[in-house]
Amino acid sequence: MAMTRTEHGARPGPLGGAATLLTWVVAGLLGLDLGAAGARVATGEALDSIVAVVNDDVVVQSELTHEINRAVPQLQQQGTPVPPPEQLRKQILERLILKRLQQQRARQLGIKVDDAALTAAIQTIASRNGLSVEELKATLETGHIRFQDFREDTRMQILTARLQSQEVMSGIQVTDQEIARFLKKEKGKLIPREQVRLQHILIALPDQPSPDQIAAAQIKAKQLVAKLRAGADFAALAAASSEGRTALEGGDLGWFEMTAVPSLVADRAQTMAKGDITDPIRTPSGYNIIRMADVKGGLPGNITQAKARHILVRTSEMVSDGDAKIRLGQLRTRIDGGDDFASLARAHSDDTGSALKGGDLGWVSPGDTVPEFEKVMDTLAIGDVSEPFKSSFGWHIMQVQERRTQDTTDELLRIKAREAIQRRKGEEATDAWLKRLRDESYMEIRRDGAGVKP
């Protein structure tokens, strides 16, 4: 499929797959509403001091302070030592600068996230966590996270995903040879996991440890990891050395559903092989060592796929929901009257990737698309054209041309391998792109009223 998977209802990075509520809560940074800043000036409130000039935009002190105040409790909750104030300020300011640069580039390219798309995305996040939007809002507020912050974080996630998809990911190529090499070395990491069994060793620290106590605990933890990786029995070392609650059970924490894996190892649990042992992980309670004792899961066997095609009309300031629905309704009437679907898709679809192929999306498997798209696809009879329907990407009409039952194990492994390689290449390419974006921009960092060009 030549099109990017964010165009036709397929899950874009921040909306799909195994994205958890926690990921969404802590990801991104809140943008300052400069219109609101102007309103404050008009009403006579003091203007914020400018801490950075980024091309024709600014970052102000209140925004920087707000982000620092958000970052500190997140770091503490994760057990990550909070950097010295000046270092933390520098890191947060750099993130805000990169955010500004991406917002500016998105404006240049006409990439936007309207309120309708944002609302649909938040509804998707809520439903994937088994919540209504109101329940999601209450959950966030219980964790002292403002819903408005969460909305703007989500908007920025979608915006950067769309921008980077167009600017970076569209140029990344993955060859069949790269996929074959990846599968030979790392096939086991691609198998979806349902449950994992974990073992745990804790080298405890007091509530307010001294530097010497921290250093001693870290050295002990590293020594234990070295012994374990040299072949020492984990259960025996846990019983002898761990200060965790399951020490006498050999550190066995038991089986966890993937959604219930302890947060300190949640990300690692997706890819650790059976028998792998983490480096020491610092948390407020001390240094933790985790072993992947066992894994349950597997790839699906036979699944039902649909061969589908669609026409997409995106909404914008110029195209309302009503306009998009009317346009697609007219196209549907023309198709019912005998006009060719593929020709109309080439002429009218805003999904440029599939439009070149007459709207063809190829064979689509369960889970490949966002729920709104999949629901319509599953209910359509073969050959029928759907009524216009809305997803987070705009308005669609769709036709299912064929269905088949397929053993997709090998195909899914290849798809997952391709996506993993793309992510790795994408991270490197994104870093280079952001550096280039920064190097080509005018920047001025201000501190205590002084302007210093970096």
- Judge whether residue 449 has pLDDT over 80: no
Query: Of the candidates 279, 297, 315, which is a domain's last residue?
Result: 297
Within 8 A by CB and 6+ apart from 437, the residues are 98, 101, 102, 105
Distance (Å) of CA 36 to CA 31, 43, 47: 11, 11, 11
Distance between CA atoms of 119 and 342, rounded to whole angstroms? Answer: 31
pLDDT above 90 (res 292)? yes
Which range has highest mean pLDDT (187-191, 288-292, 391-395)?
288-292
Q: What distance in Å separates the CA atoms of residue 286 and residue 445, rounded to the nearest whole number?
A: 38
In this structure, is residue 118 part of a structural domain? yes
Q: Which two tokens stand for residue 450?
A: 């002084």
Rounded to an integer, the average pLDDT of 190-213 is 88
First to last CA, the chain: 43
Mean pLDDT (the chain) is: 83
Angle 7-427-29 from CA coordinates, rounded to 5°: 75
The whole-angstrom separation of Cα 118 and Cα 155 is 6
Number of domains within the chain: 3
Q: Is 25 helix (H, G, I), strand (E, B) or coil?
A: helix
Encoding tokens for residue 242?
A: 């761990």
Angle at 415 between CA 410 and CA 420, to 5 degrees: 125
DSSP-assigned letters across all residues of 49-114: PEEEEETTEEEEHHHHHHHHHHHHHHHHHHTPPPPPHHHHHHHHHHHHHHHHHHHHHHHHHT----
Q: Does residue 380 belong to any structural domain of this protein?
A: yes
Judge if 219 and 276 occupy the same domain. Answer: yes
Return the DSSP state at 46: P
CB atoms within 10 A of CB 410: 10
Helix (H, G, I), strand (E, B) or coil at 310: strand
Confidence band, pLDDT 50/70/90 cuts, at residue 182: confident
Give the amino acid at 182: F
Domain that holds residue 162: 21-167
Look up residue 410 and give its amino acid: D
Residue 424 has pLDDT above 90, yes or no: no
Tens of pLDDT, residues 314-346: 988 888 999 999 999 999 999 999 999 999 999
**442 within domain boundaries:** no
Is the domain of 29 the same as that of 163?
Answer: yes
Query: How far is residue 401's CA from residue 384's CA, in Å, rounded to a whole number?
Result: 8
Do 252 and 153 reside in the same domain of the chain? no
Q: How far is CA 146 from CA 149, 197, 286, in A?
A: 5, 35, 30
**What tens digit of pLDDT does each residue of 240-254 get?**
999 998 998 899 999
Number of H helices, E strands in the chain: 15, 12
Please say whether the beta carbons of 413 and 190 come within 8 A: yes
User: Average of pLDDT values for 216-225?
Assistant: 95
Q: Are residues 291 and 306 in the same domain?
A: no
CATH number, domain of 314, equals 3.10.50.40
SS (H, E, C) 340-404: CHHHHHHHHCCCHHHHCCCCEEEEECCCCECHHHHHHHHHCCCCCECCCEEECCEEEEEEEEEEE
Do residues 102 and 159 touch, judged by C-beta distance below 8 A? yes
Rounded to the nearest 10°, the torsion over CA 281, 284, 286, 287 is 0
User: Do 39 and 97 have their domain in common?
Assistant: yes
Domain boundary among 297, 318, 351: 297
**Element holding 452 (H helix, E strand):** strand 450-452
Greatest Cα pair distance, the chain, in angstroms, is 81
Percent share of the chain, pLDDT over 90: 50
- Asked if residue 182 is part of any domain, the answer here is no
CB 401 within 8 A of CB 361: no
Q: Which residues does 14 contact at the CB level (< 8 Å), separation at least 6?
A: 24, 27, 121, 154, 157, 158, 161
* 32 shares its domain with 162: yes
What DSSP character marks residue 258?
G
Question: Which of the residue ranges 199-203, 214-218, 416-420 would you say has the lowest mean pLDDT?
Answer: 416-420
* 308/339 same-domain check: yes
Model confidence band, residue 446 (pLDDT cutoffs 50, 70, 90): confident
434: in domain = no
Higher pLDDT, 8 or 209: 209
Percent of the chain surpassing pLDDT 70: 86
Tell me, what CATH number does 52's domain have? 1.10.4030.10
What is the CA angle 168-189-266, rounded to 5? Answer: 85
286 and 369 part of one domain: no
The mean pLDDT of 372-383, rounded to a whole number, is: 94
Asked if residue 338 and residue 309 are part of one domain, the reply reads yes
pLDDT of residue 47: 52
- What is the rounded average pLDDT of the residues 287-298? 89
Asked if the structure places residue 89 within a domain, the reply is yes
Residue 48 lies inside a defined structural domain of this protein: yes
pLDDT value of residue 188: 67
Q: What residue has token string 């750099």?
A: 94
pLDDT number for residue 194: 80
Of 278, 297, 316, the last residue of a domain is 297
- The rounded distance, in Å, linking the Cα atoms of 7 and 108 is 20
User: Is residue 454 a part of any domain in this protein?
Assistant: no
Is residue 32 domain-shared with residue 53, that is, in the same domain? yes
185 vs 8, residue with greater confidence: 185
* DSSP category for residue 426: H
Q: What is the pLDDT of residue 28?
A: 31
Q: Are residues 88 and 199 in the same domain?
A: no
Per residue in 24-54, pLDDT (tens digit) is 333 332 222 323 333 333 333 345 799 999 9
Burial of 439 (0-12, 13-18, 19+ CB in 10 A): exposed
The answer to whether residues 253 and 354 belong to one domain is no
| Ramachandran class of 303: left when φ > 0, alpha when ψ lies in -120 to 50, beta otherwise | beta
| pLDDT beyond 60 at 21 | no
